[in-house]
Amino acid sequence: MVKPWAAEQIVTNDVALELISTQFPELVPVTVKLIGEGFDNTVYQVNEQYVFRFPRRSIAVDLLLVECALLPHLYSLGLPLAVSEPVFIGKPEERYLWPFAGYRFIVGESPGVITVEQRMQSALPLAQFLSMLHRFPVAKAKELGVPNDLLGRLDLTKRLSQVDSNMNKAMELGLWSDRRVLDVFLSSLGDGENIKESGNSSFTQCLVHGDLHIRNVLADDNQLISGVIDWGDVHIGHPAVDLSFVYSYLPWEGRRMFFSIYGEADTATLKLARFRSIHISLLLLLYGYDQQDDSLVAATQDSLRLAFEDL
């Protein structure tokens, strides 16, 4: 299996400590604590006040610079969910050849396996947050360097085969037991052309987070979503890319509440959102298994069950 999360460069604890101490002497004495290794970045908590992200793959370098240009503008909007505020921009040097960034620490943890009632309480702030984000002026975002979707995130001619293959892998590994609901849903998409054409002709491009899932949101002690992190995939694209989280996080009654606040979406957009929800959940499920992260495996299995709910 090709692992898209494989790192090209890893920053160790000692290297992170040295880079930060040298480039930002105002933070000395520096304490660093590894808090995450995602697809694109190695993440350290620094002095219990900041989070520093170091790209693990070359593709993430330009993404980091774009998000650092955009995030101060989003931060100033007073969004209902906290967003990262970059305050330190690290420069490439011999020990680490890419730029890196430090952000104010947002209190919270990734949600795990939670109840329906706990999920429901996030429908309102999530709807308000995405409504405001998707109304951010596209022209302004482009001025700040935000690109269009260069990865074909909703290209069904490519993604359909990936979903099919990843579901087969999940079943081989014993992570999922029945794909019949998936097959019914995929058959409703046909070869992807009808839904793709409908989606492309009926949506208005907007600013999207681009990678909204349980590893990129934070929840407070009551499991209420309180923040959105990791903006490296931000782009101008289809709102379904972000609306996919509605299908992987909220139960059907929560979705109804969400869209009553966010606004109605057409059938093509909803199908694309559900499809991406399934795609990302399967990818995270396999990633969790590969990383021996039992909590992520359990959480993404719940995400899949929600994505298949009411089909």
What pLDDT band is residue 200 in, cutting at 50, 70 and 90?
very low
Residue 209 contacts residue 134 (beta carbons within 8 Å): no
Q: Are residues 133 and 153 in the same domain?
A: yes
Q: Is 201's pLDDT higher than 50? A: no
Q: Are residues 43 and 182 in the same domain?
A: no
Q: For the chain, how many structural domains are there in total?
A: 2
The mean pLDDT value for 106-133 works out to 94
Lowest-pLDDT range, 19-23, 185-189, 248-252? 185-189
Q: Are residues 81 and 157 in the same domain?
A: no
Q: What is the pLDDT of residue 6?
A: 72
Lowest-pLDDT range, 111-115, 204-208, 229-233? 111-115
Q: Are residues 213 and 163 in the same domain?
A: yes
Rounded distance, CA 248 to CA 277, Å?
6
Q: Are residues 282 and 144 in the same domain?
A: yes
Q: Is 206's pLDDT higher than 60? A: yes
Q: Which residues contact 233 (CB under 8 A, 6 or more apart)?
A: 63, 209, 210, 211
Is the pTM higher than 0.75? The answer reads yes
Q: Are residues 219 and 304 in the same domain?
A: yes
pLDDT tens digits, residue range 44-91? 999 999 999 999 988 889 989 999 999 999 999 999 999 989 999 999
Q: Assess if residue 39 is contained within a domain.
A: yes
Closest by Cα among 153, 159, 211, 213 to 186:
159
Rounded distance, CA 226 to CA 192, Å?
35
Q: Are residues 219 and 245 in the same domain?
A: yes
Q: Which domain range does residue 277 map to? A: 116-308
Rounded distance, CA 154 to CA 143, Å?
24
Q: Which of 54, 75, 104 is the last residue of a domain?
A: 104
Rounded distance, CA 260 to CA 241, Å?
19
Q: Which of 104, 137, 158 is the last residue of a domain?
A: 104
Q: Are residues 123 and 206 in the same domain?
A: yes
* Distance, CA of 165 to chain centre: 21
What pLDDT band is residue 193 in, cutting at 50, 70 and 90?
low
Q: Assess if residue 179 is contained within a domain.
A: yes
Phi, psi dihedral angles at 111 (to 5 degrees): -65, 145
Q: Assess if residue 1 is contained within a domain.
A: no
Q: What is the pLDDT of residue 197?
A: 43
Q: Are residues 199 and 258 in the same domain?
A: yes
Q: Assess if residue 4 is contained within a domain.
A: no
Q: Assess if residue 258 is contained within a domain.
A: yes
Q: Assess if residue 290 is contained within a domain.
A: yes
Q: Is 36's pLDDT higher than 90? A: no
Q: Are residues 195 and 123 in the same domain?
A: yes
Average pLDDT over the chain reads 91
Q: Assess if residue 111 is contained within a domain.
A: no
Q: Are residues 124 and 28 in the same domain?
A: no
Token match 């399934």: residue? 278
What percentage of the chain has pLDDT greater than the value 70? 94
Q: What is the pLDDT of residue 198?
A: 41
* CATH code at position 171: 3.90.1200.10
Q: Assess if residue 167 is contained within a domain.
A: yes
Q: Which of 64, 82, 104 is the last residue of a domain?
A: 104
